[in-house]
Structure 1
C-alpha cells in the first residue's frame, strides 16, 4: 500500500469506535518489517473520526474513492 490508498477495516476497533468495514485513507507509511500504516477515518463531512496505526493484514485495499 502507498500514501492516499483507500482501505477498509477487516475487524472492528471498538476503542476507536470503528466498525469492521469502515473506510479510511492511508496518510503515512512506516517502513519496517512488517510495514505499518497510519490510516485516517473521517465522517461524511470530512472531519477526522480516528487516526489509527494498522498492519497490512488488518485492512483491505479498495479501488476508488472514499
Structure 2
C-alpha cells in the first residue's frame, strides 16, 4: 500500500519501546524509498490533546488505512507507560 503524505494510518502492531500500541492512529509525515526494501514511512503519533507522543519510521506492512468500521477509543496506559 502506498500512503500519501499527511494521511492518517493505523498501527498494526505494538511498539512498546516507542510507547505505541496496535490501533494507535498516526499521520504520515515522510515516505522513504530504498531500492530493494519495502517502502517505509515516518509517522507522527499524537495524544487527543494534539501533543506528539512519538515519531516512528516504520515499514508500510506495519500500517493500514482507516476504514468506515473503525471507531476511535481511549486506552488508559499503565503508570509506567504514561508520559
Q: Check whether TM > 0.5.
A: yes
Larger relative contact order (CA 8 Å, sep ≥ 6): 1
Aligned to 1:57: 61
* Structure 2 portions without partners, runs of 5+: 73-83
Distance 1:44 1:20 in 2: 16
How large is the RMSD of aligned CA atoms in angstroms? 1.7
Which segment is superposed worse, 54-63 or 9-18? 54-63
Richer in strand (by share): 1
Structure with higher Rg: it is: 2
SS in 2 for 1:62: coil
Q: Which runs of 4+ in 1 moved over 6 A?
A: none
* Structure 1 portions without partners, runs of 5+: none
TM-score normalised according to structure 2 size: 0.71
